[in-house]
């Protein structure tokens, strides 16, 4: 068996690059990737990208051969999310490029730095409907931070330098380089070596906006901090924690913000939104000042926007100026570096802790904490069946330092609700795009960015089959990723909505003909276990974590299990439902709900 992270043939089939091979565009690009500091790229070869793969042969770069290009994009995505570095993926033209699209879109919507390299037919064939010709440059335009079509080898130094700079600067995102085959084989010996461009400087927050923010926060009697994924993107987690500790403001977090404040922190009220905690949603609905840090009023977080935080003045801090006022009017908007913003506001805001509204704030903090304790999740589910939240809570305790990559669906929300995160980079989840199939390849990327990390993939039976082929990648590189597959034999989140909002007309959600997942894993050479009784969960988790290499735990759970609490679509976050009160509230179906008139503070989406 090979060492973790190395393919079976490593050390056998690797040669020093032949000095006899003249440097062409592809060789220049490979050298540039090395000079850029890239150590790993994820990809799949094919016709139009073959010169690049030829140049890659023997290069000091680790290429991870996935089994589907979508796996490459998600793996690079997971690598980037966990490390904070730029992820790189490669595919050929046509279907190779189109298979990357979902992963590129995910990176765009969740602000993940990627450089995507696609082969293209020769420039002389472009526009002629050639074999495997596809306009990936045009196709991906709405979902990239930028893209380049390299029509001449002479353009490569500028394009590659700019691609990496753009991907990691400011609000990160994916950058695509479409690379025609003739450019790859063109002479490039005369081109200058790649020079790494630093990320753009981050602008300071304007003093006037800081004063406006301070003025609002100092007047607050019931303040709440609403933190999002922008905190970790700005490398501002420590500053955020200092700000919260100093100002003693109750805090709620978005899905992407989880971990910015440790789950056990007394001011952390949990996640807000559709599946947020009762304490978090209630606090936001009742607050008089909402301090938004690196969050963007996503509809899954706000519920019905017109009724979100109805009493609050909004202080919105964000690097991306276009987010301020996009969906909710900001009474004070602070654009620029979040670290400097938080640092500048921490002491002045803390000075008001015991000022005129000190007593009111103490009372508010106590009320928020009391509500959080009163509505804390319970892990004493009756019966013999496995209770997924209890299992996840237990696994979180057993593997507190793990990086967790999720797929999309009910299990994703259970992870968000019940895992105890203390670092946003240890929670890899397809937040804005909600792309099923993300989990396994993202976990592979996370493991490869740090071979010593403990990486756990939590998936569902629907999501898992969307990229199940990447079990071969897991085996090939002997990556010790541990997979927890929560199998309810249904598309659970769709089933839950059909139960609640479509009068139990279950349409195409039945997966009771699922394959034998344990047998599948073993067929790929991966150790697999099965558990179906609550009493056996602890032993199964211990065995899973003790496995030396990759391993899968197949968990049979109740098809009817739902995610609670739930804010119904087109409802205020004040209208959270639990299992017990579903029948008591008339629910509008998503199709029949009539949008209410918007209130002035809610901007049209």
Taking the complex as a whole, the smallest distance from the CB of residue 24 to other proteins amounts, in Å, to: 22
* Site string (546-585) toward other proteins, x via CB under 8 A: ----------------------------------------
Catalytic-role residue among 42, 52, 69, 498? 69
If the CB atoms of residues 151 and 425 are measured against other proteins, the closer one turns out to be: 151
131 is catalytic: yes
Catalytic-role residue among 108, 143, 466, 493? 493
413 is catalytic: no
Taking the complex as a whole, the smallest distance from the CB of residue 85 to other proteins amounts, in Å, to: 21
* Burial profile 288-305: b = 16 or more Cβ within 10 angstroms, e = fewer: bbbbbbbbbbbebbbbbb
Among 97-105, 142-150, 247-255, 288-296, which window interacts with other proteins (CB under 8 A)? 142-150
The structure tokens 């000190």 sit at: 358
The H or E element containing residue 457 is: strand 455-460
> How many angstroms separate the Cα of 219 from the Cα of each of 244, 253, 361, 382?
17, 23, 11, 47
> DSSP letter at 169?
S
If the CB atoms of residues 233 and 521 are measured against other proteins, the closer one turns out to be: 233
If the CB atoms of residues 208 and 366 are measured against other proteins, the closer one turns out to be: 208
The first and second tokens of residue 550, run together, are 């990759």
Distance of alpha carbon 380 from alpha carbon 78, whole angstroms: 34
Catalytic-role residue among 131, 141, 370, 599? 131
The first and second tokens of residue 412, run together, are 């994703």
Taking the complex as a whole, the smallest distance from the CB of residue 173 to other proteins amounts, in Å, to: 10
Distance of alpha carbon 245 from alpha carbon 239, whole angstroms: 10
φ, ψ dihedrals at 585, nearest 5°: -115, 125
Query: Which residues are within 8 A (CB) of 541 and not within 5 positions of it... i.e. 6 or more apart?
Result: 391, 394, 395, 398, 553
Provide DSSP, 405-438: EE-SSHHHHHHHHHS--S-GGGEE---SS--TT-
Taking the complex as a whole, the smallest distance from the CB of residue 186 to other proteins amounts, in Å, to: 18
Provide DSSP, 505-553: ---S-B-TT---HHHHHHHTT-EEEEE-BGGGHHHHHHHHHH-SS-EEE
Catalytic-role residue among 132, 219, 221, 469? 132
Answer for the pair 202, 173: CB distance below 8 angstroms, yes or no: no
132 is catalytic: yes
Q: Which of 3, 10, 22, 141 binds other proteins (CB under 8 A)?
A: 141
- Does residue 142 belong to the site contacting other proteins (CB under 8 A)? yes
Among 322-330, 443-451, 543-551, 581-589, which window interacts with other proteins (CB under 8 A)? 322-330
If the CB atoms of residues 150 and 258 are measured against other proteins, the closer one turns out to be: 150
Q: Which of 44, 137, 421, 497 binds other proteins (CB under 8 A)?
A: 137
Site for other proteins in 13-32 (CB under 8 A): none
Distance of alpha carbon 211 from alpha carbon 215, whole angstroms: 6
If the CB atoms of residues 145 and 241 are measured against other proteins, the closer one turns out to be: 145
> DSSP letter at 328?
B
Catalytic-role residue among 36, 52, 74, 181? 181
First to last CA, the chain: 54
If the CB atoms of residues 395 and 602 are measured against other proteins, the closer one turns out to be: 602
* Site string (156-195) toward other proteins, x via CB under 8 A: ------x---x-----------------------------
* Site string (66-85) toward other proteins, x via CB under 8 A: --------------------
- Does residue 325 belong to the site contacting other proteins (CB under 8 A)? yes
Spatial strand order of the sheet with 455-460 comes to 427-428, 403-406, 455-460, 482-487, 551-556, 527-531
Q: Which of 57, 67, 85, 146 binds other proteins (CB under 8 A)?
A: 146
181 is catalytic: yes
Residue 313: strand pairing partners:
289
* Site string (361-400) toward other proteins, x via CB under 8 A: ----------------------------------------
Answer for the pair 416, 424: CB distance below 8 angstroms, yes or no: no
Taking the complex as a whole, the smallest distance from the CB of residue 333 to other proteins amounts, in Å, to: 11
* Total interface residues for other proteins by CB under 8 A: 18
Q: Which of 326, 394, 420, 601 binds other proteins (CB under 8 A)?
A: 326
Residue 149: strand pairing partners:
178
Distance of alpha carbon 277 from alpha carbon 271, whole angstroms: 6
Q: Which of 27, 63, 68, 145 binds other proteins (CB under 8 A)?
A: 145
- Does residue 604 belong to the site contacting other proteins (CB under 8 A)? yes
Q: By C-alpha distance, which of 83, 66, 76, 155 is closest to 116? A: 76
Provide DSSP, 462-511: HHHTTSGGGHHHHHHTT---EEEEEE-SB-HHHHHHHHHHSTT---S-B-
* Site string (584-603) toward other proteins, x via CB under 8 A: -------------------x
The structure tokens 């043939």 sit at: 9
The H or E element containing residue 99 is: helix 95-109
Taking the complex as a whole, the smallest distance from the CB of residue 519 to other proteins amounts, in Å, to: 45
- Does residue 149 belong to the site contacting other proteins (CB under 8 A)? yes
- Does residue 320 belong to the site contacting other proteins (CB under 8 A)? yes
- Does residue 321 belong to the site contacting other proteins (CB under 8 A)? yes
Q: Which residues bind other proteins (CB under 8 A)?
A: 137-138, 141-142, 145-147, 149, 151, 162, 166, 320-322, 325-326, 603-604
Active site positions, annotated: 69, 131-132, 181, 493
């Amino acid at each position: 068996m090979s060492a973790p992270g190395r393919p079976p043939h490593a050390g056998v089939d690797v040669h020093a690059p032949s000095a006899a091979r003249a440097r062409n565009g592809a060789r220049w690009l490979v050298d540039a990737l090395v000079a850029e500091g890239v150590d790993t790229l994820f990809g799949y070869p094919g016709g139009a990208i073959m010169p690049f793969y030829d140049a890659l042969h023997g290069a000091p770069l680790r290429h991870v051969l996935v089994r589907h290009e979508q796996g490459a994009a998600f793996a690079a995505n997971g690598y980037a999310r966990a490390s904070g570095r730029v992820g790189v993926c490669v595919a050929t033209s046509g279907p190779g490029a189109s298979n990357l699209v979902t992963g590129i879109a995910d990176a765009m919507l969740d602000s993940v730095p990627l450089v995507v390299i696609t082969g293209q037919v020769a420039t002389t064939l472009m526009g002629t409907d050639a074999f495997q010709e596809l306009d990936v440059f045009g196709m991906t335009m709405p979902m990239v931070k930028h893209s380049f079509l390299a029509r001449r080898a002479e353009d490569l130094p500028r394009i590659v330098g700019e691609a990496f700079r753009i991907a990691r600067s400011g609000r990160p995102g994916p950058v695509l380089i479409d690379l025609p085959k003739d450019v790859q084989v063109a002479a490039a010996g005369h081109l200058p070596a790649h020079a790494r461009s630093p990320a753009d400087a981050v602008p300071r927050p304007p003093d006037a906006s800081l004063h406006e923010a301070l003025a609002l926060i100092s007047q607050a009697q019931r303040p709440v901090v609403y933190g999002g994924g922008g905190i970790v993107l700005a490398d501002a987690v420590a500053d955020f924690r200092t700000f919260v500790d100093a100002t003693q403001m109750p805090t709620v977090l978005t899905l992407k913000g989880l971990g910015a404040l440790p789950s056990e922190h007394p001011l952390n009220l949990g996640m807000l939104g559709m599946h947020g905690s009762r304490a978090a949603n209630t606090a936001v609905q009742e607050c008089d000042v909402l301090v938004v840090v690196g969050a963007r009023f996503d509809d899954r977080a706000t519920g019905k926007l017109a009724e979100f935080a109805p009493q609050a003045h909004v202080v919105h801090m964000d690097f991306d100026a276009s987010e301020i006022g996009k969906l909710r009017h900001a009474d004070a908007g602070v654009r620029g570096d979040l670290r400097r913003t938080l640092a500048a506001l921490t002491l002045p805001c803390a000075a008001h802790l015991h000022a005129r509204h000190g007593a009111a704030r103490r009372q508010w903090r106590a009320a928020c904490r009391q509500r959080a304790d009163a509505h804390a999740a319970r892990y004493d589910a009756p019966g013999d069946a496995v209770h997924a939240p209890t299992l996840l809570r237990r696994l979180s305790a057993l593997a507190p330092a793990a990086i967790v990559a999720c797929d999309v669906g009910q299990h994703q929300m259970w992870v968000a609700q019940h895992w105890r995160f203390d670092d946003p980079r240890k929670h890899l989840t397809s937040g804005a795009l909600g792309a099923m199939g993300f989990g396994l390849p993202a976990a592979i990327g996370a493991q490869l960015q740090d071979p010593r990390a403990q990486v756990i993939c939590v998936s569902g039976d629907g999501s898992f089959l969307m990229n199940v082929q990447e079990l071969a990648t897991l085996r090939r590189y002997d990556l010790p990723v541990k997979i927890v597959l929560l199998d309810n034999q249904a598309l659970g989140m769709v089933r839950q909505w059909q139960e609640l909002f479509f009068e139990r007309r279950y349409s195409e959600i039945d997966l009771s003909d699922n394959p034998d997942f344990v047998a599948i894993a073993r067929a790929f050479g991966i150790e697999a276990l099965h558990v179906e009784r609550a009493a056996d969960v602890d032993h199964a988790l211990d065995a899973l974590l003790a496995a030396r290499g990759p391993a899968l735990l197949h968990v049979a759970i109740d098809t009817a299990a739902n995610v609670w609490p739930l804010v119904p679509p087109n409802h205020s976050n004040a209208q959270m439902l639990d299992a017990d009160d579903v029948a008591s509230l008339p629910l509008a179906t998503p199709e029949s709900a009539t949008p209410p008139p918007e209130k002035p503070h809610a901007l049209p989406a």
